[in-house]
Structure 1
Amino acid sequence: MKRRAIISVSDKTGIVNLARELVDLGFELISTGGTYKTLDEANISVNYISEVTGFPEILEGRVKTLHPLIHGGILARDCIEHIEQMEQNGIRFIDLVVVNLYPFRETIAKPGVSFEEAIENIDVGGPTMVRAAAKNHGRVTVIVNPESYEEVISVLRETGTVSAGMRKRLAAEAFAHTAEYDRLIAGYLERQLEPTGSFPETLRITAQKVQELRYGENPQQKAAFYINSEAGEGSLANGKQLQGKELSYNNWVDMDAAWKIVHEFDSCAATIIKHSNPCGVALGKTPLEAYEIAYAADPVSAYGGIIAFNRVVETTCAEALRDRFYEVIIAPEFSPEAREILTAKPNLRLFVVGRGDSGKTKAGWAFKSIDGGYLVQEVDHGTTSVTEWDVVTDHKPTEEDLQALNFAWRVVKHVKSNAIVVTDSRRTLGVGAGQMNRVGSVKIALDQAGEDSKGAYLASDAFFPFPDSIEEAARAGIRAIVQPGGSLKDAAVIEAANRLNIIMVFTHRRHFQH
């Protein structure tokens, strides 16, 4: 008796060729709706579902395959008891199930999609067949991914059957397919019920493994890179490596930090990152100018760093980059000439993210794992506008002062706390990161800035608990300070700034980054 396959797919990629190959291999085909029409128009021998069940599609297509003649054929085991029951009820085996589901993800992503349209794109019969076939993978082969068609056909041509190991692997893929589908539906319905921004009762995170990495933070740790199934175009995770060695775990961590910093600015910006902190951030009229200014901020630390730009890297910038050692360069794009120049450094990783807007930090969840669980918080998106700041000292800032303080404030948000940055109006001069006390970070940043501290600007990611940091800043010649405020000692800190002729503004928003 002929082997039988049921084919019902939303994504029709490669389906005509698959069906033709199956017919050539002796399979009898069963199909539904649009898939049947596609195969029939391609002159492929195929049975319409109602011809098999003897029952019409009803309820506007909601009921097509939900029938014992279909599910009995899928779920039956090749044993005497099942075979006897199948003969009594006129059921024949179905050996291959090729199904993928209604495009629910694409439907709910459409602007202005109605709730009713979303509900109608919840597949019922498809997941039921997929789950039945995957459960019975001891006998049945199930395919949900068009990329598997060629592999299955090749095996059938060579051996006439699909091995138990391959059926098990395809079954696991099938259950993952339906699990992700249900996750999307559950998340969509929960968003209809929960207030905007509320935390879901159940976290449903799905990510696809892109590659295993050489190792993690340290050689003894294994690591892999996964992409969030909902990551959009223009996101770092969806970027493309153009050349160079395989990216490491630490590369990805530093790339993320770099990409977020340059997207704080609408102006042309460049940053150089080491160990998740910026050793230089600068604005310029061109990527080359921004890069050279950022490099000058800390040329010693820049060695072996990761660079990000928020503009296309052109020839002159590429020529400058070629002359120094870096691990990774990230940009929205590289010109063809720039790519040619940088091929002279084959180990240098070039990473292009595209021109999307995903580099700008948006609302969403940020996750951190702890022993046995997860911490979840809102992404720290955006920052307060200069118009929302309060000048708390007798000494008032000019418009130029506010612009410089705004630059410093946007940079300090991306430095590990306790975080202090010293800048002029468009470049970092000194960075103090990750110290156990704030005055320690102040001293590091001022020491790095050196004589450039005179007339410069200082930003702190959180309030100053004591006036000691203000006194250090004054000794170095700092002109103005931006900080969130909110300390019990605010009055003493403000008094110190007034006494030492330092301008101080409060932003009323903290930017800790542990």
Structure 2
Amino acid sequence: MYLEKYNLELRYGENSHENAQIFGKPSFEILHEGKQISFNNILDAEAAYVVAKHLKYIDGYGSVVVKHQTPCGASIKKNKIESIISAISADEESSFGGILSVNFKFDEECALAIKKKYLEVVIAEKFTENAIEILKSKKIRILKVNNYEPKVGKPAFGAYLIGERKLPNLKFEHVAGPKLSVEEMKELTFAYIVIEGVKSNAILISKNLTTVGIGTGQPSRKRAAWIATSLAEKEAEGAFAASDAFFPFPDGLEILANAKVKAVIAPMGSIRDEQIIESANRFGISFYKASGRVFRH
């Protein structure tokens, strides 16, 4: 596959002393730029958009805030404004300077709901004219996304690796602890969808279809569980957790159990799977097996 250089000047590369270029035509339109868009803005924008798009598998309005290509907050609500505010408030400190994507039409009411100027970019498939004008006045960049198929890719050894990016089957198998209700399974599905966009190793905790703790980018899954529960604090009690890959040891699951997490979704495939199942039963945690891993590097 040969891609020509695309004529869009970027403010700078991954760091301000580095240049960056685009090859191939990106599937977005810049409705408002203001300060020139950067390499990092585009990567973060796609990271937010793909997770928001995947949230369409669950009824409701989905919003995601991303920084450094990983979610800091995500939420699904029955009301657009509540969805946006919940996603931002899930980790308001990390959301500062972040990028917001929604899976619904971004209208005037949505634009007015963003009270503070701490978002760099807003991404959606549709915007109303009034929303565009309001976001412009807040000096927020606006990207309108056209339909495309997401990929993953990395440069390596002078070549470029490109792979598919898609969710596995969202049917989960009950393997330990009490079975969950239909509504509770929706919560578990939400956690699993959002963790697909979190950098591995990752553990994510959610409650009321809103993230409350995300442990991301750790070389140890146990450490990711510790970060997620530390951020969630008391909200971990009765909450739902997702792991982007299998638990290699029961220690990460034990951290979630000590925080009183109610249910966990994770792939399996460890040589210690039986220990994990035994531990989940001993802790009284509802444990469901995902059909595949969803870690991202």
TM-score class, shorter-chain normalisation, is: over 0.9
Q: Residue 145 of structure 2 is aligned with which of 349, 353, 356?
A: 353
Task: Classify the secondary structure of the residue corresponding to 1:223.
Answer: coil
Measure the CA separation in 1 of the matches of 2:112 and 2:127: 12
- What is the aligned partner in structure 2 of residue 467 from structure 1? 250
Task: Classify the secondary structure of the residue corresponding to 1:343.
Answer: helix
Measure the CA separation in 1 of the matches of 2:245 and 2:291: 9
**In the alignment, does 2:276 pair up with 1:493?**
yes
Contact residue 274 and residue 302 of structure 1 kept, 8 A: yes
- What is the aligned partner in structure 1 of residue 226 from structure 2? 443
Measure the CA separation in 1 of the matches of 2:208 and 2:189: 9
Superposed displacement of residue 221, structure 1:
1.3
Measure the CA separation in 1 of the matches of 2:237 and 2:153: 40
Q: Residue 402 of structure 1 is aligned with which of 182, 185, 191?
A: 185
Contact residue 210 and residue 227 of structure 1 kept, 8 A: no
Q: Residue 456 of structure 1 is aligned with which of 220, 230, 239?
A: 239
Measure the CA separation in 2 of the matches of 1:412 and 1:207: 33
- What is the aligned partner in structure 2 of residue 239 from structure 1? 29
- What is the aligned partner in structure 2 of residue 282 from structure 1? 75
Task: Classify the secondary structure of the residue corresponding to 1:221.
Answer: coil
Q: Look up the equivalent residue of 2:116 and give its one-letter code.
A: D
**In the alignment, does 2:41 pair up with 1:256?**
no
Measure the CA separation in 2 of the matches of 1:335 and 1:422: 33
**In the alignment, does 2:14 pair up with 1:217?**
yes
- What is the aligned partner in structure 1 of residue 153 from structure 2? 367
Superposed displacement of residue 511, structure 1:
1.0
**In the alignment, does 2:170 pair up with 1:385?**
yes
Task: Classify the secondary structure of the residue corresponding to 1:404.
Answer: helix
Superposed displacement of residue 322, structure 1:
4.2
Superposed displacement of residue 367, structure 1:
3.1
Q: Residue 86 of structure 2 is aligned with which of 293, 304, 308?
A: 293
**TM-score of the two chains, using structure 1 as the length reference:** 0.55
Q: Look up the equivalent residue of 1:385 and give its one-letter code.
A: L
Contact residue 200 and residue 217 of structure 2 kept, 8 A: yes
- 1:458-499 CA-to-partner distances (Å, cap 9, x unmatched) read 000000011111111111010000000111111111111101
Superposed displacement of residue 222, structure 1:
1.0
Contact residue 62 and residue 83 of structure 2 kept, 8 A: yes
- What is the aligned partner in structure 1 of residue 55 from structure 2? 265
- Correspondences of 1:65-464 after superposition (within 5 Å): 204-228=1-25, 237-266=27-56, 267-345=60-138, 347-354=139-146, 356=147, 358=148, 361=149, 366-377=152-163, 379-386=164-171, 389-464=172-247
- 1:307-334 CA-to-partner distances (Å, cap 9, x unmatched) read 0111111122111214331111111222
Q: Look up the equivalent residue of 1:283 and give its one-letter code.
A: I
Task: Classify the secondary structure of the residue corresponding to 1:439.
Answer: helix
Contact residue 314 and residue 338 of structure 1 kept, 8 A: yes
Measure the CA separation in 1 of the matches of 2:131 and 2:79: 14
Superposed displacement of residue 424, structure 1:
1.6
Could you list the runs of 5+ residues in structure 2 that have no partner in the other structure? none
**TM-score of the two chains, using structure 2 as the length reference:** 0.94
Change (3 A) 1:252 1:268: same
Measure the CA separation in 2 of the matches of 1:511 and 1:343: 36
Q: Look up the equivalent residue of 1:482 and give its one-letter code.
A: I
**In the alignment, does 2:273 pair up with 1:480?**
no
Contact residue 486 and residue 508 of structure 1 kept, 8 A: no
- 1:203-245 CA-to-partner distances (Å, cap 9, x unmatched) read x2223412231211012211112334xxxxxxx6332332422
Q: Look up the equivalent residue of 1:383 and give its one-letter code.
A: P
Measure the CA separation in 2 of the matches of 1:446 and 1:207: 46
Contact residue 65 and residue 99 of structure 2 kept, 8 A: yes
Measure the CA separation in 1 of the matches of 2:184 and 2:116: 35
Q: Look up the equivalent residue of 1:218 and give its one-letter code.
A: N
Task: Classify the secondary structure of the residue corresponding to 1:308.
Answer: strand
Identity over aligned residues, as a percent?
34
Flag the structure with higher helix content.
Answer: 1
Measure the CA separation in 2 of the matches of 1:335 and 1:445: 37
Contact residue 304 and residue 326 of structure 1 kept, 8 A: yes
Q: Look up the equivalent residue of 1:239 and give its one-letter code.
A: E
Change (3 A) 1:295 1:274: same
Contact residue 322 and residue 342 of structure 1 kept, 8 A: no
Task: Classify the secondary structure of the residue corresponding to 1:240.
Answer: strand
Structure having greater relative contact order (Cα 8 Å, sep ≥ 6):
2
